[in-house]
Each structure stands twice: as structure tokens, then as C-alpha cells.
Structure 1
Amino acid sequence: MSNFIVRKAAVLGAGVMGAQIAAHLANAEVPVVLFDLPAKEGDPSGMVGKAIDALRKLEPSPLASKDRVAYIDAANYSQHLDQLQDCDLIIEAIAEKMEWKDDLYRRIAPFISPTAIIASNTSGLSINRLSEGLPEALRPRFCGIHFFNPPRYMHLVELIATRTTDPSLLDDLESWLVSRLGKGIVRALDTPNFVANRVGVFSMLAVMHHTQRLGLGFDVVDSLTGPIIGRPKSATYRTADVVGLDTLAHVVKTMQDTLPADPWHGYYTVPGWLAALIGKGALGQKTRCGIFRKDGRAIKVLDLALQDYRDAAADIDPTVLAILKNRNPADRFAQLRASEHPQAQFLWAIFRDIFHYAAFHLADIADNARDVDFAMRWGFGWAQGPFESWQTAGWQAIAEAVKADIDAGRAMSPAPLPAWVFGRVVQAGVHTAQGSYSASADAYRPRSTLPVYQRQIFPERVLGEKAVAGTTIWENEGVRLWTLPQVDEGIAIVSIKTRNHTLGRDVIVGLQEAVARAEADYQGLVLWHEAPFAFGANLKEVAEAIAAGDFDLLERYVGEFQNSSMCLKYAKVPVVAAVQGMALGGGCEFLMHAARRVIALESYIGLVEAGVGLIPAGGGCKEFAIRAAQHAAKTGGNDPFEFIQPVFMTIAMATVSKSGAQARELGFALESDKIVFNANELLYVALREARGLAEAGYYPRLSPRAVKVAGRTGIANCEMMLANMKEGGMISAHDYVVAKAAATALCGGDIETGSLVDEQWLLTVERQLFVDLLKNPKTQQRIQHLLETGKPLRN
């Protein structure tokens, strides 16, 4: 791989997008200078200062941890352009006006290092035309770099080369974006709105057209175009509100102005009702009123017939719902097309027209079908891209149905399907094991061979691609122990198999067996599976034992859980936990006991047992008590409570980290643990980490024998905090009981302050407290309520 790195970056434009790009660069430990126009009054960089302050308040947070904001410096174009000289990457993210960008490029050109990369975050303007605003010497260093909003969370970045962009620059930038920022890259052609917005915005316009044609309500359409067809919960009209109706109109206007010969050009305009909303300043979520609005707790939706807002509903006709639940895609599409119900006609029409549009424009907008499908998955949150959906449903049958509708004048455009649709893809498909179809080259394109992609052992795949196969060593109903001989045959991998990776008896026993086998035959063990990492203990098993009154069984169950944690901690070979997504309750405790953790940035980790009236009892409280003693030994006060106090509040309030980086701050991970921005690299890095520990002569840790605990004084201090919270109405009486139990476990039990105990003592304390709470009727109510509703009960 190239050694290219970005040591310092600049973002030009401190609007919503620019500021959040700066935040994500700072997340990746890249210092950023954020520029904007000088303020007319006060601090000349005050506009940028306000934008940086706003980053702290946004939810979901663009910052992976609060301290990242310190790496964003405020600057303005009048005073600080000389700071560009030290920047390896300069991203322009100002308003989508060509003349403004031209003017800015002229101003910054004298200050740009000849080795810097200059990129525009335009969402649709011509990259070749933008490059003309730069001196000729800088043009090979210029490209398009289109992030999607919000930049931290949206996986897609479109890279767009000009006719003069240095190819090696694109390779370096792609590799860096993939590994350092965690992005999925699509190399887009320099056409209006590139790939994702071109297809995605047309899809929204098609939905709007057919909504009006068939007289459907916006709320009904959102129920039809959400998760039930593999689209995000925000569906279509809520997505428009979130994006901003004015922003959507601007993107549509770009298509209208730049694509006059497009067969769908007549649809590149916003409907009259949407233009009227924009005219009234009802721009969607940012103005708290758009297609939807919130009145108290009620969600209202615009009704065109009433010319007013009404209560939103989400009624899908039962016959249409039955069709959508058909698991056979070919049958599903055939039934939608044949149905006379307006909702079914609507669904067939929006799929037909997106298939038609994507096929017609494939050669113009993308190198291959895989790029289109990934763009829609990563940029718009579709479960499948248009070509995947088409191929899944039977290529030839769908092609013939689309052609018949075109010929009958039912499609949005009379443009014929391109000839390639009826060529070799009918038999082979657009996606094959060899690659994805390129209409412009009439060939199948393999995946990128850039070395960075060798770090993705299990990359995201499109339909037709084959996954790497592992070799199973042993498995039971709960876990699978396996290896990847082609990567490292000496490191074993254990994966949890249960739904949501809950930790029932099969998993607990299986992990102990996996550790024993790894100790006997391998040099290391990685605990890895796709997200979520683990949702904690199997509450259904717990509830069944409670109902039977078998609390001895439950105590043995908790004891076995603790044994599994200890097996992970004291294994003869290094155990590395590779974590992504949710790692809650027992899942958090398991990762805390590993020798090392490799954590995806988007990981949400916490000890959440308080939510069901329990405390961590798989060794979580014990681990924090040990760390408190170790921390105390290194400080002048020698008081473990200094460390326990924040941990106690974290457990009592069931706090979950909002990133892998914040998991460090909360103590669930250590500073030495790796944070990986691209979750597809997680297994690769974990295997390398385990190999490195093994090669360095890994030896299991000694169990601490003299753990100094906070004891009764620590418990009393925690109770003082709880009393204030209870008096203030922040917690209930049972919350108090549960939190006191957590305090008791963290402080080593109801014993003399400063007592020295061993690890088994701490495990016994938390196990007994846990079982006592299981006997409490209010805890039992919480467990049952969560099982029945999926929501916590605060009783």
C-alpha cells in the first residue's frame, strides 16, 4: 500500500456540510483548518467559531468524542490563507454557485502546496469545469470528493476525476478515504449529480409523479417506500424533509439545467405543491414544517385535497401487504404488476421506472452496475440497488415487462431499453463472480485491485459475488469455531450464531470450548461476527427460570457466564475481541475481558443491565473494581472511589457509548485498543493484532490477589448521589435499589473501606447481588415488559 497520509487538512466553507466534514476529519485524528468569510462584526472568524460550537450540540453527533473538536481551528479567507500552505488535503464545500467557486479558487491558488490535493465537495457541478478555475499547474491535483450527509455516518463518497487528474492521486486518496475515514468509494463519471443523486433524486421524482397520478397520501406512500421494500425508515417524503425541500429543489434544478436532452427531462422539476411549501419557508425538518410537521406528540402530514395538515396514518392495503410479504421476488413483482389496487400499481410503477432509468443511463453515469448499486446502498440506504433487485426477480421476465409497459405508453419515458439489456446479461446477470457489467465497455468489470481492499476479508458484496469460505473446526448451537487458512491458519475465530448474538447457555458453554480448543491447537483467538456484537444475556431463558422459581439454576447460569469471561481473560493464547455495532450487557463484559479490543468507530457499547432492574454480573463490576484499585495505586490519594464514581453513574444510568472512541472515555475500552474506521477491516486488523501478540510472546495475566476496595464508605458516597437523584425525581425507588446494588458490587461489597480482596470475591459479590435482584418482583416486571414490548419499563 501507498504511504500516503493526510497530516493536516483544510475545509473551505463552514456550513452544515463543511463543518461536519471537518468534524469527521478530526475524528480520524487529522487536524483541520475550517474556513469561511470574515464576520462583519466582532471576531473575524466568528462565523466559523459558531459552526464549531454547533458541532457540539448536533444529534446524532458528528464528533466521535468531545475532545475531537479541539483539532478544528477557525479561520477566515481575509487573514489566514497562508495556513493552506501546510495542508495536504483541501476540500472546498461552499455553496453550489460556479462563480463563487471560481472566485475562491483564484484567491487560494497562490497558497496551495504543489503536493496538496484540492477537491470540491460539489453535489453535482461539473468537476472538469470547476478545474478551469485553478492554475494549470494545480489541475492534476484536483478532483471531486462528494460526501453524503451526515459525513460521519453515511458510507458513500463519490470520487470524480477530471480529464487531467493524476491517476495515482485518485488511488492514494481512495485508499486513504477507505481505511482512514471508513468510506465506501464509487468512482463517478463527471455527469450532473454523479451517480447516487442522479438515480436517487430521479427515484424520488418518480415517486412524486406516481403519488399524484394515483391520488395517494404522502404518509401512505412513505409506508410503502420504507423498510417493507428495503428502503430506510424515512422512506421518500420524510427523507425530503430531512434533506431540506430547498436542497432537493436545487439538485433537481441542476438536472433540469444541465440535462436538456434527457428523455426524462420533463420530470426534472419539483411539483407545484412542493414549490409552494418552499415559497412559504416550510423547508422540512430544519424549519420544523414541510411535508410533515409535529404538533406536540402528533405527526401531521400535508393533505393536498384538504390543503391542510391532518394526522398521519400508514395504512397499507391487506392484499398489497400480502404481496409484499411474498418471499419470492419474481412472484412479488408479477403480482404487483397484475394487481388493480392503486398501491400495487404504484409500487410496480416506481420499480419499473427506476429499472428503465438505470439501464438507459448506465453507460453515461457509471463504469459498471456494481457502482450504481453500491451508490444507492451507501448513499440512499437501499437494501439492494436497482440492478440487484432486477436480477433477483429474474432478469428476462422483468426486462420484458418493462419493455411491454414502454411500448404501451405506461412508462414515464418512451425511450427504449438499451440493447445490452437483452444481451448476454439475460443468462449471466449484471453481477457475476467475475465482475459487474459495464455498458460502456460491454464487459464485466472486476473489483478494484487497490491494496487497501486486501484488508477487507469480507467486503460488502452485490448479488452474484461469492464470499470467502472459512474452515469450520467445531460448532454447537451457539457458536462456531473456524479459521481462514488463506489469511492466517494459526489464529482461530469464534463467532456467535444466535439471533442478535444473544448470550444463552449454548453460547456460554461454546465459548469455553472454543477457548480450550484454541489453547490446544492455535496461537490466538479472535471473537468476531457481523454487527451487532452482542445484545447481552438471553432474557427469554432468564424469564423462564424465574417463572419456574429455579433461582439455583439462575445462580449457576451466572456462574457459568462469569467462567466464560474468565476463560477469555486468562486464556493461554491472546483473545482479541473485534467489535462493531451494539455490544450491550454481557457482550460488553466479554469484550472487557479480552486481551485486546479492536473496535469499529460506529460501535455502541454499554452495561445496560439497570434497564431491566439488574447489575452487570458477568465480571463487569469486578473489572471496574480492579481498575479502580490499580488507578488508586498510581495516585497520591490512593482512593479507588475517585475512579468508581464516574463508572458508577455510567452503570446506574445504563449509559451507552455513542462511538468506539467514546467507549474508551467510559472505560469499556482502553487507550491501547484499536479504533477501526472501516468496519470491513475489523477482522483483518483483529487477526493481525492476535498474531502480533502471539509473536511477541503473549503470556496470560496474573489474577490480582490484593484488590483494594472502596467498601462501605464508597457505597455511602454513591447513596448520597442516589438520594439527590431520587428526591429530584430523576430515578424511581426501584432504580435506587438497583443502583445501590451496582455501587455495592463496584465497591467490593458491604465490607470495611480499604479491605483487600481477590478477584473471586468480587465475582461472588456481583453474582449474589444479581440473583437477589432477579427475585425482586419489580425487576421481574421489567424483564417481562422488555420481552413483550421491546421497550424498557421504568417502574
Structure 2
Amino acid sequence: MSRQTAVQSPDSSALARLPTVHRVAVLGAGVMGAQIAAHFANAGIAVRLYDLPADGADKSAIARKALAGMAKLKPEPLAASDVAALVTPCNYDDDLPGLADCQLVLEAIAERMDLKAALFERIVPHLSGQAVLATNTSGLSVEEMAGHLPAALRERFVGIHFFNPPRYMQLVELIPSRETAPGVLDSVETFLVGALGKGVVRARDTANFIGNRIGVFAMMVTVHHAQQYGLNFETVDELTGRRIGRPKSATFRTADVVGLDTLHHVLEGALANLPDDPWAKLYVAPDWLDDLIAAGALGQKTKRGIYQKVEGEIRVYEPATGEYRKRHAKVPGKVEKLLDTRDPAQYLPRLRALKDPQAQFVWAIHRDVFHYAAHLLGEIADTARDVDFAIRWGFGWDRGPFEIWQQASWREIAALITADIDADATPALVPLPDWVGEIDAAHEARASWSAADARFKPRSTLPVYRRQICPAMLYGEDGECGETVFETAAARVWHTGDDVLIASFKTKMHTVNDALIADLHRAVELAEREYAGLVIWHPDGPFSAGADLKSFMPVAVKSLLPGNNALDELLQRFQGMCIRMRRASVPVVAGVHGLALGGGCELMMQSDRVVAALESYIGLVEVGVGLIPAGSGCMEQARRADQATRGGDIFPHLRGIFETIAMGKVATSALRAREMGFLREADVVVMNREEVLGAAKAQVHALQAASYRAPAERPIRAAGREAVANFHAAMANMHAGGYISDYDMTIGLGVANALCGGDVDAGTELPEDWYLREERKHFCQLIRSPKTHARVAHMLKNGKPLRN
């Protein structure tokens, strides 16, 4: 392909670099541009958001309206209520001189070369001599765009392809032109990884780059084989979701989310830009897609696409009739049994051998993605690593295509692909490239195959990656990070060769059970004897989804028997673990990303410091299962309220806390968790989840350097019975308005008593243990109710709260 551009070495140096970024400009306040601006603001960077001048007195109204509209979008582009203030709406007529103090200027207007070239001509005179100019393009030629720039600027011009939505999608593709300075690439990658928290792959300047080239192909080859094997939409989605390590939305539900019109546009672009692609016929839009678009059924945004909700039931489009019908998907037992192994080495060769259309279908979609990725590797990417991470980060697969192939046995699968090509059974009859037969795997220890250079190439050594102590690994790279000190079924306790002990949970969703409580006690004791401190952090999954309800409920049922104190004793053990962490003689730091709910939130709140990735979702959600926080959560919030008010009126501070707990609110980012009181001002928020462990260990050392002493226990001033009465009155109003049920009132009253210290005078100083007993008392009362049992059962079955 003529557009191919050599990927610069990530370790090279040059005079041209991205200066320290204090302010950026985003050109184009459309959906993508505005959300990119929002994410810069999430990172604490001042942003100028530009668009065309509007008619009327406010010439920046277009950009201002785009900024206001972000508050209504779901998922939320803005990570906190105050970050929007960092975005300044601008227009091209009045505000171009403001570009002079921007270190990075990112163009994000419509995907038309003529429009981009015209905008470049207009802005270039206003750029500083050190600023980097970037284009956010999903497929236009970066090299061609560079041709529209002055020669002196081309070394500071680069393609930066954010995936949508830019706050949440980890993948960013970095695309150089032939004249982009290596130092610019290095510094832009450093900025994207460290300041914005992204996973960066360097792509060659070819049509659709890496992610969309492989990802869209994977979708369209699935559409092709669904038709070939006569499978309906819902059966394909049953086969192509979590069963094979892809997102739950699978294929056709994903198309609805993306938008069928958007998919059609992507296919048109692929046909136009890839005329020589041997698989080009797969990009022809199927008739049913044209029919749905013509009918205005564009997917999720029109509430009708391949799927539609009819009278509370999800129905599926039937191309033969043009109507929506009930779903009927059934995976044959023999296929289901193989896929349930979750092991490509088990299911791929065996599925190929089965004379079953569904088995043949699953084999074919894997085979053709392997074939296509191998054919393109040397053209689109520097290494197989870039392809696999692009598909992981951009399309949500558990493993990329080369990883799956390697896991399934590289040489065996290569032989089967070749046999299918020879049998004229593949959509394109091009042979596998010669290099496939020359290696045994795409990834080895910290190195991945480069087809262009015919060798294994190591990971980048840019300094920003040194902050990732245990980074995400590809299948076939180095194994377990660190050295294990002890390991059980519930936890692994380990270190990375220094003086900080690390505890990682192994339970499902890292839920808390009795065994884990015991392991944490042991870890704290070991840290006190032999280490500078303890970090609780997990390389995979959430921080903790809370208590293990399945193991907890049998204890709860036994507690209904007269004289049985098993539940209260279990709660005391959990509370004791939380308090033990806070009173340890060495610092305990929680490293959080993903969910930290219920008991997981309580554990986190008792640490000396929290280091949380921006994308952390934190809350005390026990009311959703008909309970109250009883692992120290209510006590800790009362303690923080007392500290925050410093002898003043505690009730106003508790009001927001009560509402948060009683309504089971969850912070939708680490910044919002700070607003809601789950994180303290001293707690640290990092943008990149891969940096959480390193930052957490640094906090241990910082605390020790400040002569760490465990905080002494101090009495907590109670808000008392008057505050409980006020909360009760507020709930009564909500109940009268139909906003909460009778049982919500009962649960809320338990929360109020546990937060306020119960039936005592306002201002009474109470020991921590008083609050812990209040928590346990109301928790145990609620667990005896059939309504709580119904809520727990509903949550276990459906994963959603029941409001009974």
C-alpha cells in the first residue's frame, strides 16, 4: 500500500519533542472533538475547544453548546462536576491567537481531506514554534495531510486516533508521517500513556490503521459466515460473545450500539480505500442492513435496529419478513461443551472436525481473522503485539488474534488454515505468509514478532513504562509478576523484590469471604514484621465487588436459629480486619481500579491511603440487597464527618453521606468518589490503571519517609437521635411521594442510626466500637426479613437490585 509509513523506533531521540503540556486546543466541537476535550479536562489540562463562529452575539455558542451537552451524555464524558471549567469555548474568527500558548493542537473535524487542509492553512500562522499538531482521524492518510503543511511543521505533525468514547476506550493509535520526528512520537506516546491513561499502539499509515482494519474485518467475516451457515442474528450473538472471549454484546448487538448507519459508512470507506484487499468482497453491505437503515432503524440511538424492545421483551429483526420476532437461539450441546472449556486449544481443532454448522461457523470466523491478521501484519503494524493490544483495547476481546492462535497451538492451526486454503474453503485464497512457518509463536518473553523486520522485537523502553510495574501481558510473554510469599485459594501475597508486600485477591470478582479475611490478617502481620508496608492490589479484575453473598447467606440463615451468633461473629471478623488494617504499625495502601463496592469499599476506606485509577466505581451499595454497610463503612463515614466539621455541626455534613448510602449511589469515577466522600483529599488519582501499583508502592515509601505512625483511636461525636428523626422525616416525604417503598424506609432508618450513633444526645462522644455494634445490630435485624432474602436472591440471579 502506498500509504505505508515506517513506524519509528520508540527509543530514538530527536530535537523535536512535545513540550510539557499545560494547555491543549481541540479543533472541532462535534461529538468526538468535544469528548476528547472533556478527557483532557479529566486529566486536569486546560483546553481550548474551537468550532465555527455562530451567528449572534456569542460567536463561540457552538462550542459552548457542545460543552453543555456533555453533561447529558451517557456514559459521562466528564469525570467530575468541576472539570468542565477547564474547557474554554472558542471560535475560529476571534480566538485563533489563543493557539500560541497551546503545546498540543488536535484537529478533530469531519473526515474530509479538503476540510482538514483548509483548516490547517488557517491555523498554522498562529501555532507556536514548539507545538505539536495532531489529527484525530480514523482512517485518512496522515502522509497526505502532512503534504498540506509547511515543511518546518511536518516533523511535529502526527496522527492520534482516539476510539469512541474517548474517556473510556483505552486504545489510541499513534500514526507518524514519513517526516514525523522520532522524538515527537516518543513524547506524544509518553503524554498519552501517562497523562491521559491510554494504551498506545504505533500504527503504519495504511487504510483504517490497525484496530478498525482487523476489528471491522472480524465483524464482517462473522456476517459472511452467518449467512453461509444459515445462522440467525441471535444465534450468532450467542456464539460470538463471552463464550469466545469477546464482549457480551457480541456481533449484532455491538452493531446496534455502534449505529447501523455508522457501520454502513465504515463499510463504504473500506470498499473505497481497500480495492486491492483480497477480502474486499466481505465489505459489501448486506441487503438487510440497507433495509434497516432505509426504515430508520439505526440501532440503539433510534431504539430499533437488529434488535428492538417490544412490550418489555427484546425481539430480533427477521430479514425474510421485515418484521421483529421472538428470539430463538440454541447452541448444540456438543458445541456448547467445547466452548465452555474457554480453551482454544481444546475447542478450535475439534470444532473444525465437527459436521455441525455452528461448529464450522466458530472455526471459520477464527480461522479467517488469523489468516487476515497474518497477511497484513508486516503492512499495518510493527509487531504482533500492536495488533493484539489494538483488538484487546479497541474491541474488548480478552485476547487478540495472534494470542488466540498461539494459545491454540501455532503450528497445528497454521496447518489447518493452509488445508482450508488448499481446499478452496476460505473467502480469500492467498497463502499464509512464509514467516508463519518460520516461528513457533507470535509472542515470547517480553518480545513479539515483527513481520517487517523478520525478528522478535522487545517492548518499548520509554521511561513512562517503568511506572507500570506489572503491566498487562500477552499470552506467551513472561508469566506471573513478582515472587510469591504465600498463596491460598483466596489470595496471593507477594513482592517485586523490594520492601513492600502486596496482597492480591483470587476470589471471584475479588469478593470478601472468611478465608480472605484470614489471609489479610496474616498479610498485615507479615508486613509489620518484615516489610515497610502493605499494598492491596490486583493485576486483573475489580478491586472488590463486596461480600461474597453465596458464602455469606448460609451463615445468615443459621443465625435465624435461637442462640446462634454465627452472623454477628462473621461481621465482627470482617470489621476487625478493616480496623486491623488502619491500626497496623506499617502503612496499608489500597490500589483501586474498577469496582470497589460494599465490603470492598469498606476495606478501601480503612487503608492509610488510596491510589485509584480514574476509572474506579466506588460505593456502599448494601441497600441494594436489603442491608446496610456493616464492615465499618457507617462508622468510617461518621468518623470522617466528625473530622471534617472540627467540632461544628455534624448534621449538614452527614446529610449528603446518608443520601449516598441510603440510595446506594456509586461514584462513576475516582474524582466523583472524592466528591462523595469515599476518597479523601490526600488520596491519589492516576489516569492509567497500569500505574496504580507503582504509585501505591510510592505512597508506602512516602508515608514511611514521614515517620509513619498508625492513627490513634479517638471518640467520634454523634449526630444522635435528633439527626435520626430528621432523616426519618425526609424519608417519610419521599415515601409519601412514591419514591421509596416501606422496606426502603426500614433500611434507611438502619443507615441513619448506624451513621448517627443511635439513640443518644447530639454531640455525645462515642468509641468506634459503639458504631460498629450499631452497624451489626441493624444488619442482623434486616437479614431476618424475607424481603432482604428476596433482594439477595434477586441480585445473585440477575445481578441487579430489587426494590421490594
Same fold (TM over 0.5): yes
Alignment-derived partner of residue 545 in structure 2: 535
Aligned to 2:484: 472
- Cα 1:537–1:298 shift into 2, 3 Å: closer
Distance 1:662 1:169, change over 3 A: same
**Per-residue deviation at 1:87?**
0.9
Moved more, 717-726 or 320-329: 320-329
| 1:86 maps to 2:86 | no
Determine if the alignment matches structure 1 residue 755 to structure 2 residue 764.
yes
Partner of 2:723: 714
What's the CA shift string for 1:425-481, capped at 9, x where partnerless? 1xx311111511111111011111111111112111111101354233345553333
Deviation (angstroms), 1:336: 2.0
308-317 vs 77-86, which deviates more? 308-317
1:673 to 662, 669, 683: 683
Conserved 8 A contact 2:19-2:130: no
After superposition, the C-alpha distances for 1:81-119 in whole angstroms (9 at most, x for unaligned) are 111111111111111111011111111111111111111
Match of 2:6 in 1: none
Following TM superposition, by how much is the alpha carbon of 1:190 offset from its aligned partner in structure 2, in angstroms? 0.3
Q: Distance in 2 between matches of 1:784 and 1:291?
A: 32
1:642 aligns with: 652
Q: 1:25 to 1:545 in 2, by over 3 A?
A: same
**520-529 vs 116-125, greater mean Cα deviation:** 520-529
Aligned residues: 785
Find the counterpart in structure 1 of residue 7 from structure 2: none
- Choose from 575, 583, 586 the match for 2:588: 575
The 5 A counterparts of 1:43-82 are 43-82=58-97
Shift of 1:788: 4.7
Normalization by structure 2: what TM-score?
A: 0.94
Q: Tell me by how many angstroms 1:406 deviates.
A: 1.4
Aligned residue for 1:724, secondary structure, equals helix
Query: Relative to 1, partners in 2 of residues 1:179 and 1:412: Cα closer, same or farther, differing over 3 Å?
Result: same
Which one of the candidate residues 405, 410, 427 is aligned to 1:412? 427
Tell me the distance in 2 between the aligned counterparts of 1:157 and 1:66: 25
Rounded to whole Å, the distance in 1 between the matches of 2:74 and 2:463 is 35
Report the Cα offset of residue 525 of structure 1. Answer: 1.3
Tell me, yes or no, if structure 1 residue 461 matches structure 2 residue 473. yes
Q: Give the counterpart letter for 1:158 in structure 2.
A: E
Q: Deviations over 1:293-333 (max 9, x none)?
A: 33342323221211233233433233332332245523422
Deviation larger for 429-438 or 251-260: 251-260
Q: Which residue of 2 aligns with 1:594?
A: 607
What is aligned with 2:461?
449
Which of 508, 511, 514 is the equivalent residue of 1:502? 511
Name the stretch that deviates more: 776-785 or 29-38: 776-785
CA distance in 2, matches of 1:125, 1:726: 57
1:225/1:236 contact within 8 Å kept:
yes
Q: Which amino acid in structure 2 is aligned with residue 472 of structure 1?
A: T
Matched-pair contact (CA < 8 Å) for 2:513–2:552: no
Distance 1:325 1:506, change over 3 A: closer
Identity %: 50
Q: State yes or no: 1:168 paired with 2:183.
A: yes
Q: How far apart, in 2, do the equivalents of 1:515 and 1:385 lie?
A: 38
Rounded to whole Å, the distance in 2 between the matches of 1:145 and 1:124 is 11
- CA displacement at 1:41 relative to structure 2: 5.0
1:481 maps to which residue? 493
Distance between the aligned counterparts of 2:197 and 2:748, measured in 1? Answer: 38
- Larger displacement relative to structure 2 (316-325 or 657-666): 316-325
Q: Does 1:631 align with 2:644?
A: yes
**2:600 aligns to what SS in structure 1?**
helix
Q: Does 1:361 align with 2:376?
A: yes
Residues in 1 aligned to 2:298 and 2:97: alpha-carbon distance in whole angstroms: 38
1:671 & 1:745 partners in 2: Cα distance? 24
| Alpha-carbon contact 2:18-2:188 (below 8 Å) kept | no
**Separation of aligned partners in 2, 1:407 and 1:434:** 35
From 438, 442, 451, the equivalent of 1:430 is 442
Question: Aligned partners of 1:39, 1:552: CA distance in 2, in Å?
Answer: 70
Mean CA deviation greater in 247-256 or 60-69? 247-256
Amino acid at match of 2:668: K
Q: CA deviation at 1:526?
A: 1.0
The match for 1:135 is: 150
**Cα separation, 2, equivalents of 1:673 and 1:113:** 36
Q: Provide structure 2 residue ranges, at least 5 long, that are not aligned to the other structure.
A: 1-10, 12-16
1:382 to 2:397 alignment: yes
3-state secondary structure, aligned to 2:735 = helix
Answer whether contact 1:434 1:444 (CA < 8 A) is retained: no
Q: Tell me if the contact between 2:547 and 2:598 (Cα under 8 Å) persists in the aligned partners.
A: yes
1:365 and 1:174 map into 2 onto residues whose CA distance is 18
Q: 1:374: Cα distance to partner?
A: 0.8
Show CA shifts across 1:572-625 (max 9, x none).
111111111111111111111111100111111111111222211221111111
Question: In structure 1, the residue corresponding to 2:452 is in which secondary structure?
Answer: coil
The answer on 1:690 being equivalent to 2:700 is: yes
Cα distance in 2 between the residues matched to 1:249 and 1:262: 18
Of 643-652 and 408-417, more deviation after overlay is shown by 408-417
- Contact 1:366–1:372 under 8 Å retained in 2: yes
Distance 2:487 2:224 in 1: 53
- Look up the SS of the partner of 1:232 in the other structure: coil
String of CA shifts for 1:673-706, please: whole Å, max 9, x gaps: 111111111111100110111112111112113x
Match status 1:511 vs 2:520: yes
Cα distance between partner residues in 1 of 2:698 and 2:314: 50
Q: Does 1:38 align with 2:50?
A: no
Shift of 1:271: 2.3
Gaps of 5+ in 1: none
Residue 751 of structure 1, CA deviation: 0.7
Q: Does 1:523 align with 2:532?
A: yes
Aligned partner letter, 2:659 = M
Q: Which residue type is aligned with residue 379 of structure 2?
A: D
SS of alignment partner, residue 565 of structure 2: helix
- Structure 1 position 149 matched with structure 2 position 134: no
Do 1:192 and 1:254's aligned partners in 2 also have CA atoms closer than 8 Å?
A: no
1:12 matched to which residue of 2?
27
- Look up the equivalent residue of 1:268 and give its one-letter code: Y
Q: 1:749 to 1:146 in 2, by over 3 A?
A: same
Q: Which residue of 2 aligns with 1:614?
A: 627
8 Å contact 1:35–1:76 — kept in the other structure?
yes
**Within 1, Cα distance between the matches of 2:596 and 2:342?**
31
**Greater displacement, 168-177 / 530-539:** 530-539
Shift of 1:641: 0.3
Which residue identity is paired with 1:527? I
8 Å CA contact retained: 1:256, 1:269: yes
Q: Quote the Cα distance in structure 2 between the aligned partners of 1:611 and 1:470.
A: 38
Residue 280 of structure 1 deviates from its aligned partner by 4.2
* CA separation of 1:277 and 1:693: change in aligned 2, threshold 3 A: same
